[in-house]
Amino acid sequence: MHSDQAEVKKSVRSYMTVFVMLMVFTVLTVAASRFHLAVPVAITLALVIAAMKGSMVASVFMHLSHEKRAIYGALLLTIVFFLVLLFIPVLSMMDHIGTPK
């Protein structure tokens, strides 16, 4: 069983660290909303903060930091399917079946 005392303390410490960082990023989100930034800058800043918060939640609370092989496999599969979908219109434009010459 993997619940020895040191492992539990390490897990609790990482949970607390992520909790504190989430609170910091929440304060940054509220502080950023107080500034009247240009819309593209505000959206970019909001997306960066949200991506940081989301990655922390996913990696620690959802235990994805321990699933690197499966994550990279899913990412590679996503890239392959994206490239296939990207080239379907290109390949259909090159298809001359049924068109007069």
Range of the domain at 16: 5-94
Task: Say how far apart CA 71 and CA 64 lie, in whole Å.
Answer: 8
Query: Could you tell me if residue 50 is inside a domain?
Result: yes
pLDDT for residue 101: 65
Q: Taking Cα atoms as reference points, which of 96, 92, 95 lies closest to residue 84?
A: 92
Query: Could you tell me if residue 12 is inside a domain?
Result: yes
Sign of dihedral through CA atoms 21, 23, 24, 29? positive
pLDDT for residue 5: 85
- Could you say which DSSP state residue 84 is in? H
Task: Say how far apart CA 5 and CA 56 lie, in whole Å.
Answer: 24
Query: Could you tell me if residue 100 is inside a domain?
Result: no
Query: Could you tell me if residue 101 is inside a domain?
Result: no
> pLDDT tens for residues 1-42?
556 888 888 888 989 999 999 999 999 999 998 988 999 999
pLDDT for residue 3: 66
Total domains in the chain come to 1
Listed range (31-45, 72-86, 87-101) with the worst mean pLDDT: 87-101
Q: Is a pLDDT exceeding 80 seen at residue 66?
A: no
Q: Are 42 and 52 in contact (CB under 8 A)?
A: no
Mean pLDDT across the chain, nearest whole number? 87
Predicted TM-score (pTM) of the model is 0.61
